[in-house]
Amino acid sequence: MSHPATAARHPRPRRLLLLAPTLLLLAACTGTTPRAQDASATTTPQVTGPLCAALPNGTDPGNPTFLAGHPVDEALRWIPTLTTFEAALRTSGVLTDLPAGTAVTVLAPTDDAFAATFSEDNWDDLMTHHTDQLRTLLKAHLSTGAHPIGDLATAGSTTTLDGATITVTRTGATTRLADRADTVCADYQATNARIHIINAVLGPLPATADGTGHRAH
């Protein structure tokens, strides 16, 4: 026995199928398809410099895409060559003192850069007993605004949080800062921040900086 109510339901899906091509065409014309939005949201940050190949990449923990979704203090913890700098920032509280929402550019010296500037004993003394000097040193590596390294080179200078203006010049594949340090892996992105890894310590160095190069890694 047939059921008229059931039979009446069948034509409606066929009408929806006929409408589907029209709806897709309208979406393509307006440029609002979910596929187009997702493509722009998953752009991979492009880091540049001779050290980048030795740092986490691809799907490794701490790769540039992963770090782009983290606050700057957390992102720094994932970069293995910045353990000294990250610990100093955390100890000093310089980043947490910035007003909420402040964008920041971080010029981050490598562990080797600190090892070439401070002995282990002198660095420990600075970290433990000379907080004001430590904070001043770290501010020489921070500036407001999340600036790509190319923008800094185009501007030719940047003013750091310690009040100093340092020169920024492009030198081939790297960028030179204050005629002292070169970028070795630039343009990491973090939430509201850019991180540029450099190969020397900037700013006026405390008296504890003796350049003996005996710090443990």
Domains of the chain, start order: 4-40 (no CATH), 44-198 (2.30.180.10)
CA distance 130 to 126: 5
How far are the Cα atoms of 34, 77, 84, 108, 144 from residue 98, in angstroms, in the given order? 37, 19, 21, 17, 10
Which pLDDT score, from 0 to 100, does residue 42 have? 47
Which pLDDT score, from 0 to 100, does residue 212 have? 55
Query: What are the structure tokens assigned to 161, written together?
Result: 């949080």
The backbone torsions φ and ψ at residue 51, rounded to the nearest 5 degrees and listed phi first, read -90, -15
Distance of CA 42 to the CA centre of its chain: 16
Q: Lowest-pLDDT range, 10-19, 42-51, 65-74, 116-125?
A: 10-19
Banded model confidence at residue 205, pLDDT cuts 50, 70, 90: confident
Question: What is the reported pTM?
Answer: 0.78
Banded model confidence at residue 44, pLDDT cuts 50, 70, 90: confident
pLDDT tens-place string over residues 4-40:
444 444 444 444 344 444 433 434 444 433 333 333 3
8 Å CB contact between 168 and 176: yes
Closest to 68 (Cα-Cα) out of 192, 183, 186, 151: 192
Starting at the earlier edge strand, list the strands of the sheet with 181-190. Answer: 142-144, 104-109, 193-198, 181-190, 174-177, 165-171, 157-159
